[in-house]
Amino acid sequence: MSDEQAASPAPETARQLRILTSGVDRIVPEDEFVRKLDRAVATGTGLRVKLGIDPSSPDIHIGHGVPLRMLRRFQQLGHTAVLIIGDFTGQVGDPTGRSDTRRALTEDEVRENGRTYEAQAKRILLPERLEVVRNSEWLGALGTSGLLQLASRMTVARMLERDDFSKRYTSGKPISIVEFMYPLLQGHDSVVVRADVEIGGTDQLFNLLVGRDLQQRDGQEPQVALTLPLLEGLDGELKMSKSFGNYVGITDPPGEMYGKLMSVPDRLLGKYLRLATDLHPDDVEAIERSADTGGKAAADAKRRLAHEVTAIYHGEDAARDAAAHFDRIHVERDLPTEIPERDIPAEAIQDGAVPLARLIAVLGLATGTSDARRKIEGRGVRVDGDVVSDPKASFAAAALAGKVIQVGKRAFVKIRG
Residue-wise pLDDT tens digits, 74-92: 999 999 999 999 888 888 7
Which CATH architecture describes the domain 242-331?
Orthogonal Bundle (1.10)
Residues 6+ apart with CB under 8 A from 158: none
CATH 3.40.50.620 in the chain is located at 3-228
Q: For residues 394 and 354, is the Cβ–Cβ distance under 8 A? A: yes
Q: For residues 322 and 310, is the Cβ–Cβ distance under 8 A? A: yes
| pLDDT at position 54 | 86
| pLDDT at position 114 | 84
Query: What number of other Cβ atoms are within 10 A of residue 351's Cβ?
Result: 7
| pLDDT at position 7 | 58
Residues 6+ apart with CB under 8 A from 338: none
**Digit-coded pLDDT (tens) for 12-52:** 999 999 999 988 999 999 999 999 999 999 999 999 999 99
Say if strands 80-85 and 130-134 run parallel, antiparallel, or are unpaired: parallel
Q: For residues 234 and 264, is the Cβ–Cβ distance under 8 A? A: yes
Instruction: Tell me which CATH homologous superfamily contains domain 3-228.
Output: HUPs (3.40.50.620)
Residue 29, preceding bond cis, omega within 30 degrees? Answer: yes
| pLDDT at position 93 | 65
CATH 3.10.290.10 in the chain is located at 341-415
DSSP 341-394: EEPPPGGG-BTTEEEHHHHHHHTTSSSSHHHHHHHHHTT-EEETTEE---TT-E
> Cα dist. 190→187, 207, 219, 263 in Å?
5, 11, 13, 39
CATH 1.10.240.10 in the chain is located at 242-331
The parts of the chain modelled with pLDDT lower than 50 are 1-6, 97-101
Task: Give the domain 341-415 fold.
Answer: 3.10.290
| pLDDT at position 1 | 41
| pLDDT at position 417 | 62
- 65: Cα separation from own chain's centroid: 5
Max Cα-Cα span within the chain: 85
